[in-house]
C-alpha cells in the first residue's frame, strides 16, 4: 500500500475525494501504528513515521469511505507517572467521524489482570472494541438554513432519539429508535403542532454501553458516557454503521430545519467512558493519558473526578481544549446543529480545583466566531466541591435553572413561604442573572427533565421507585419535592385523578407564563409515566419509551399544552427580552407599571403580604403596553395585557380583578380547573373564583391600558 507523508492537520481521518489523510496526536508515543481492518477480522498495520508537533500522520491514496481503522500506540506504561500506553489494545481515534461496533465485557479491554491488578494484561482487544470508520463528508444540504430562533421566542423540547420513536405507531418498524424515525413526518408534525421551536436531543455522541450494566441485563440508555465526540451514536442508525449514520443524522437536522425547528445537542465533554484507573483502555487512555485526563497531583495513577463517573477531562490541556472546540465547530459547520447543552458544565470550568467561570474554556468559546453565535446552555453544577453554580456562568451562556424547578415544585405542592421566591422565578430570576448584565433568557426554566420524575410521576409519587435499576433503591435523588395528591402511585379514585391532572396543567401553565426560556420534557404533554422511577438511565424499555396510545384524559392534556404554548407565542408580554423595571425583591413593581402584584382582594402586595408564611395565592398583572424593548424592526411592541391568578391553596379563593385602569374587559385564556371556561368574559373589578390548586390566565383583548 502506498503511504504518503500527509499532513498533521486536521486531526482524524479526512477523505478528500482521492484518498484519506490520517492524523493522531500523542505527546508520549514512541511509535504509532495505523491499523486498517477488513471484514474477516484481518488487520493491516502501517507504521506512521511522520511526526510534527506530536501529531503522527500519513496520507493513503487508496483508502476510501467505509474503511474501518484504529491505532496501536507504543510508549510508556507507567501508571504511577500517569502514562498508560498499551499496544495490545486497538484504540479508537478521538476524532473518528463514524464508529462501528460496541464494546463487550471481555477482559482483553483492560490493561491489568482481574485476579491480580498488579499484573499486565497483554491480550489483544481488537475483537471486542469499537473502531473508527472513514466517512464521505460530502452531503447535499440543498437550501438548508439555520432557523435562528430568537432565544426569547424559543420553546425547548428535551427528547431521546429512541424513547421518542420506539413505540410510535406511524413510524415504520425498521426506523423506530433511530435518527430516521426521529425525522419521520409524523414525529416532526407532533413537534410542529405542539409549538416547540427547538429539539434538545439527549446524547447522540458515540457512547459506551457499560459492561457492568450489560451483565445485569440493563444498558446505558441515557448515553452520558461519551467516547467519540465527533461521531453520531451508531445504535441510533437505521441503515448501517459504516458511515451511513452520519448522513442519516444530517437528514434529521435538515428535516427539522425545514419545519422551523432548531437542533440542540446535549453534550458530555466533562469525562469519557474509560472510567477510573480500573476502567478499560479504549482510546484517550492508551493514546496520551496525562494530556487528556485530570490526574491526582502526586498520585498520577488515579484520576481527579468531579463528575461521579471515574474521570474528568483536563481543561487546562491545550490538546483537550482543541479537541472540544474542534468537536463543537464540526457539529455546527458540518452537521448544522444550532446549539449545545453542556452536561455538568462546572467541571469544564475547573482549571485547577476551584470552579472559575473565566477559565480558558470559556475564554476560547467567547472569542470563537462560530461557537459563540449558537445557543450555549450550561448544566451549572457538578458533584465536586463548589460545583453548584446556578447564576454563575458568563453572560454568553444560558443555564438550566435548578432554582426555578425547585421553587415551582414547592409552590404547587403547598410549601409555606414560597410566594416571594416564586415571584422572582416567574419573572426571569433577575436576582440570579441581572447583576452580571444578563437577561431573562439566561434562565432555562423547567419543572421536569430526563433526570428525575416525569410530570405525571411528580404528582403521583412521594418517593422514588427505582427497584428495577438493581441498586436496591440507593440510586436517584431522594428529595424530589413531589406530592402524590393523597395516594402513592396508580389509583382509581376520580378525585385524586382529577387533582393530578389539574396539577400537571398548573405546572405547565406556570412554565409557559414565566419569563425566560421554557423547556418541556418529552412525553410530559402526553402524561407519560415512568412508574415512579426517577433515574431511568439504564432502562431501555417501555419504562422509558413514550407510549403514544392516548386515553381521553391524556389527549386532553396534549390539547391543553398545545393551546398553552400557542398562548405564549401570541402574547409578547409573556416572552420579554429584558427584565421588568420593578426591583426583583418580592417581585417588586415599577413606576412605568410594566408589572404589578395583587392579593386576591385586589390590593397591591406589600412586604407583609409577601412575608405571610401561609399565603399561597397571588395575582400578577403583565402590562402589554409597557414593553420597553423594540421588535426586530425597531418598532414598539404593543400587545394584550395578561392577568395571572395562581392559587396553590386547597380551598377555592375569590379574586377581585383590577379596576378599569388596567382593562375594561378580561377574557379567560385558560383555566386549569375548568378547561371549558376558555373564552368567558369578566368585567373590570369583578369577582372571580379560582378553584383550590388551580390557575387562571386572563387576556385583556387589547383594551386601552394606563
pLDDT in tens, 541-553: 999 999 999 999 9
**pLDDT band at residue 352 using 50, 70 and 90 as cut-offs:** low
200 and 341 in contact (C-beta within 8 Å)? yes
**What sections of 368-493 are H helices per DSSP?**
402-412, 419-426, 430-433, 455-458
CB 591 within 8 A of CB 581: yes
Average pLDDT in the 587-602 region? 87
- Would you mind telling me the total number of residues written for the chain in this entry? 706
- 116 located within any domain: yes
Task: Identify the band that residue 351 occupies on the pLDDT scale cut at 50, 70 and 90.
Answer: low
Rounded-to-10 torsion of CA 535, 470, 388, 323: -90
> Is the pLDDT assigned to residue 584 strictly greater than 90?
no
DSSP character string of 89-128: S-B--TT-SEEE------GGGSSEETTEEEEE-----GGG
CB neighbours of 280 closer than 8 A, spacing ≥ 6? 103, 109, 110, 211, 274
* pLDDT of 447: 98
Return the C-alpha cell found at 131. Answer: 473502531
Would 363 be classed as within a structural domain?
no
Residue at which a domain ends, from 134, 164, 183: 134
391 within domain boundaries: no
- Alpha-carbon distance of 372 to 379, in angstroms, equals 17
Long-range CB contacts for residues 605-611, cutoff 8 Å, separation at least 24: 609/419, 610/419, 610/420, 610/423, 610/586, 611/417, 611/420
Given a cut of 90, whether residue 628 has pLDDT beyond it is: no
Q: What is the CATH number of the domain that holds 654?
A: 2.60.40.1180
pLDDT at residue 73 is higher than 70: yes
* pLDDT reported for residue 353: 63
Residue from 33, 158, 247, 379 carrying the catalytic annotation: 379
| C-alpha distance from residue 602 to each of 598, 639, 643 (Å) | 5, 23, 12
Question: Of the candidates 97, 94, 95, 91, which has an alpha carbon nearest to the alpha carbon of residue 130?
Answer: 91
Distance between CA 294 and CA 297 in Å, rounded? Answer: 9
671 tagged catalytic: no
**3-state DSSP helix/strand/coil percent for the chain, to nearest 5?**
25, 20, 50
If DSSP codes are grouped into helix, strand and coil, which group holds residue 544? coil
Q: What is the mean pLDDT of the chain?
A: 94
Of 350-359, 427-436, 608-617, least confident by mean pLDDT is 350-359
Does pLDDT of 358 surpass 90? no
| Tens of pLDDT, residues 275-320 | 999 999 999 999 999 999 999 999 999 999 988 899 999 988 999 9
- DSSP 8-class letter at 441: G
What is the distance between the alpha carbons of residues 182 and 161, in angstroms, rounded to a whole number?
6
Confidence label for 346 from pLDDT (cuts 50, 70 and 90): confident
Domain boundary, last residue among 134, 162, 194: 134
214 Cβ neighbours under 8 A, 6+ residues apart: 104, 105
Whether the pLDDT of residue 703 is over 70: the answer is: no
Q: Cβ contacts of residue 476 below 8 Å, gap of 6+?
A: 452, 464, 466, 469, 533, 534, 535
Average pLDDT over residues 58-66: 97
For the stretch 147-183, pLDDT in tens is: 999 999 999 999 999 999 999 999 999 999 999 999 9
In this structure, what CATH number is given to the domain that contains residue 47? 2.60.40.10
Cα 304 from Cα 301, distance rounded (Å):
10
Q: Is the dihedral of CA 504, 509, 512, 513 positive or negative?
A: negative
Sign of CA dihedral 196, 597, 676, 686: negative
Q: What is the average pLDDT across 620-647?
A: 90
Query: Is 367 a domain residue?
Result: no
Helix (H, G, I), strand (E, B) or coil at 213: helix
Please check whether residue 504 lies inside any domain of the structure: no
User: Does 674 qualify as catalytic in the annotation?
Assistant: no
| Mean pLDDT, residues 537-564 taken together | 97
The reply to whether 590 falls in a domain is: yes
Q: What pLDDT, on the 0 to 100 scale, is given for residue 360?
A: 84
For residue 468, the model assigns a pLDDT of: 96
> What mean pLDDT do residues 438-450 have?
97
**Domain that residue 111 falls in:** 12-134
Q: Is residue 624 a part of any domain in this protein?
A: yes
* Pair 232, 306: CB distance under 8 Å: no
Residues 658-687 have a mean pLDDT of 96
Residue 382 pLDDT level (bands cut at 50, 70, 90): confident
- Looking at the 3D structure of the chain, how many domains does it have? 2
The three grid cell numbers given for residue 33, joined into one nine-digit string: 501504528
- What is the model's pLDDT at position 233? 98
Buried b (16+ CB within 10 A) or exposed e, 614-631: ebbbbbbbbbbbbbeeee
Q: What percent of the chain has pLDDT over 70?
A: 97
Tell me if 223 is assigned to some domain.
Answer: no
Distances in Å between the Cα of 432 and the Cα atoms of 41, 152, 428, 519 are: 57, 17, 9, 18
Query: What average pLDDT does the segment 333-346 reach?
Result: 95
Q: Which of residues 134, 169, 204 is at a domain's end?
A: 134
Q: 3-state DSSP call for residue 463?
A: coil
| Catalytic one of 86, 93, 343, 421 | 343
For residues 48 and 56, the answer to whether their CB atoms sit within 8 Å is yes
Angle at 697 between CA 694 and CA 698, to 5 degrees: 140
Amino acid at each position: 500500500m502506498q503511504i504518503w507523508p500527509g499532513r498533521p492537520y486536521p486531526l482524524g481521518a479526512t477523505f478528500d475525494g482521492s484518498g484519506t489523510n490520517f492524523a493522531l496526536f500523542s505527546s508520549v508515543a514512541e511509535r504509532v501504528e495505523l491499523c486498517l481492518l477488513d471484514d474477516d477480522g484481518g488487520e493491516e498495520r502501517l507504521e506512521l513515521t511522520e511526526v510534527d508537533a506530536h501529531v503522527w500522520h500519513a496520507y493513503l491514496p487508496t483508502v476510501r469511505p467505509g474503511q474501518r481503522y484504529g491505532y496501536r500506540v507504543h510508549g510508556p506504561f507507567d501508571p504511577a507517572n500517569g502514562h498508560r500506553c498499551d499496544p495490545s489494545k486497538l484504540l479508537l481515534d478521538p476524532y473518528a467521524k463514524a464508529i462501528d461496533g460496541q464494546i463487550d465485557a471481555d477482559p482483553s479491554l483492560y490493561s491489568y489482570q482481574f485476579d491480580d491488578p498488579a499484573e499486565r494484561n497483554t491480550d489483544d482487544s481488537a475483537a471486542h472494541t469499537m473502531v473508527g470508520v472513514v466517512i464521505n463528508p460530502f452531503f447535499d444540504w440543498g437550501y438548508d438554513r439555520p432557523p435562528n430562533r430568537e432565544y426569547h421566542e424559543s420553546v425547548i423540547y428535551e427528547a431521546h432519539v429512541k424513547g421518542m420513536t420506539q413505540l410510535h405507531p406511524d413510524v415504520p418498524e425498521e426506523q423506530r429508535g433511530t435518527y430516521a424515525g426521529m425525522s419521520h413526518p409524523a414525529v416532526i408534525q407532533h413537534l410542529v403542532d405542539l409549538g416547540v421551536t427547538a429539539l434538545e436531543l439527549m446524547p447522540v455522541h458515540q457512547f459506551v454501553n457499560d459492561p457492568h450494566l450489560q451483565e445485569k441485563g440493563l444498558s446505558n440508555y441515557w448515553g452520558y458516557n461519551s467516547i467519540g465526540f465527533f461521531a453520531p451514536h451508531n445504535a441510533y442508525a437505521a441503515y448501517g454503521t459504516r458511515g451511513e449514520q452520519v448522513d442519516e443524522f444530517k437528514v434529521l437536522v435538515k428535516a427539522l430545519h425545514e419545519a422551523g425547528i432548531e437542533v440542540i445537542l446535549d453534550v458530555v465533554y466533562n469525562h469519557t467512558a474509560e472510567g477510573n484507573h480500573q476502567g478499560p483502555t479504549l482510546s484517550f487512555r492508551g493514546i496520551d493519558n496525562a494530556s487528556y485526563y485530570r490526574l491526582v497531583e502526586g498520585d498520577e495513577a488515579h484520576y481527579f473526578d468531579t463528575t461521579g463517573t471515574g474521570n474528568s477531562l483536563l481543561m487546562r490541556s491545550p490538546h483537550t481544549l482543541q479537541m472540544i472546540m474542534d468537536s463543537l465547530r464540526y457539529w455546527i459547520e458540518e452537521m448544522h446543529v444550532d446549539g449545545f447543552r453542556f452536561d455538568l458544565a462546572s467541571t469544564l470550568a475547573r482549571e485547577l480545583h476551584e470552579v472559575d467561570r473565566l477559565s480558558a474554556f470559556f475564554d476560547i468559546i467567547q472569542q470563537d466566531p462560530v461557537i459563540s453565535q449558537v445557543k450555549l446552555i450550561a448544566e451549572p453544577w457538578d458533584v465536586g466541591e463548589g460545583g453548584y453554580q446556578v447564576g454563575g456562568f458568563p453572560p454568553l451562556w444560558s443555564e438550566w435553572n435548578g432554582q426555578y424547578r425547585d421553587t415551582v415544585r414547592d409552590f404547587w405542592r403547598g410549601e409555606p413561604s414560597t410566594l416571594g421566591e416564586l415571584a422572582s422565578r416567574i419573572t426571569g430570576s433577575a436576582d440570579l442573572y441581572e447583576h452580571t448584565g444578563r437577561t431573562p433568557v439566561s434562565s432555562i426554566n423547567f419543572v421536569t427533565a430526563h433526570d428525575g420524575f416525569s410530570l405525571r410521576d411528580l404528582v403521583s409519587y412521594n418517593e422514588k421507585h427505582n427497584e428495577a435499576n438493581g441498586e436496591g433503591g440507593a440510586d436517584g435523588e431522594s428529595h424530589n419535592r413531589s406530592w402524590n395528591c393523597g395516594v402513592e402511585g396508580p389509583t382509581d379514585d376520580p378525585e385524586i385523578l382529577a387533582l393530578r391532572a389539574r396539577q400537571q396543567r398548573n405546572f405547565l401553565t406556570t412554565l409557559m407564563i414565566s419569563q425566560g426560556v421554557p423547556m418541556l420534557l418529552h412525553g410530559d404533554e402526553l402524561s407519560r409515566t415512568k412508574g415512579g422511577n426517577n433515574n431511568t438511565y439504564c432502562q431501555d424499555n417501555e419504562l422509558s419509551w413514550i407510549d403514544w396510545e392516548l386515553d381521553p384524559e391524556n389527549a386532553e392534556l396534549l390539547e391543553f399544552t398545545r393551546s398553552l404554548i400557542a398562548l405564549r407565542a401570541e402574547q409578547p408580554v409573556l416572552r420579554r427580552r429584558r427584565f421588568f423595571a420593578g426591583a426583583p425583591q418580592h417581585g417588586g413593581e415599577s413606576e412605568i407599571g410594566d408589572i404589578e402584584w395583587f392579593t386576591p382582594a385586589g390590593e397591591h402586595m406589600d412586604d407583609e403580604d409577601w412575608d405571610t408564611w401561609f399565603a399561597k395565592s397571588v395575582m400578577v398583572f403583565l402590562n402589554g403596553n409597557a414593553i420597553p424593548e423594540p421588535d426586530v424592526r425597531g418598532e414598539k411592541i404593543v400587545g394584550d395585557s395578561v392577568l395571572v391568578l395562581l392559587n396553590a391553596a386547597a380551598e377555592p379563593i375569590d379574586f377581585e380583578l383590577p379596576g378599569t385602569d388596567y382593562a375594561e374587559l378580561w377574557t379567560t385564556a385558560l383555566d386549569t380547573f375548568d378547561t371549558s371556561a376558555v373564552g368567558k368574559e369578566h368585567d373590570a373589578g369583578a369577582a372571580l373564583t379560582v378553584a383550590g390548586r388551580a390557575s387562571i390566565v386572563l387576556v385583556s383583548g387589547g383594551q386601552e391600558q394606563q
